[in-house]
Amino acid sequence: MKILNYPSPTLKIYCQEIKFFNNEELNKELDEMKRLMLENNGMGLSHNQVYDTGKRVFVMKDLKNKIWEFLNPTVIYEYGQTYQNESCLSFPNITIQVSRPEQVSVKAFDRNGEQFHISAIGLEAICISHEIQHLNGMTFFEGLSRQKKRDAIKRLKK
């Protein structure tokens, strides 16, 4: 498996909720996503960056190096706004300044179907927002001016 790069149509898929937890296929996909994220020095990776089936799943490595699995994540609240340079494993060698919430609170399930709640600030909040945006079929290109998007696409082609 490999990470899909822009302009893969899979990145535009609105991912569907998981209905059955703790099954062999899902567990293999989660393990593969974690492996790919770590091998590529990423902080997060969504299902539709790797698989064309578009499940509502992402993985994230927090600042303490704990790896989280988010299945069917739901944003409870977002607070504040920050502009940070952001990169994405599906957009190699591209960094774009993006507006994100400073804080997020999310509820989700782990691979066993156990619900958990996490509140994050700073870089972790940015990562969670970025990955949920992927699950909604959007990339960090959304909201960019046409000129900034053209410039980024030129850099991608190089």
- Could you identify the residue written with the tokens 């997020």? 104
pLDDT tens by residue, 82-107: 999 999 999 988 899 999 999 999 99
Q: What digits encode the pLDDT tens for the residues 106-146?
A: 999 999 999 999 999 999 999 999 999 999 999 988 877 88
Tens-digit pLDDT profile for residues 41-61: 999 999 999 999 899 999 999
22: left (phi over 0), alpha (psi -120 to 50) or beta: left
The catalytic position among 39, 69, 131, 142 is 131
E strand spans, 10-90: 44-46, 57-61, 67-79, 82-88
Rounded CA gap, 43 and 135, in Å?
Answer: 16
Domains of the chain are: 9-157 (3.90.45.10)
What is the C-alpha to C-alpha distance for residues 77 and 68, in angstroms, rounded to an integer?
A: 19
131 as an active site residue: the answer is yes
- pLDDT(157) > 80: no
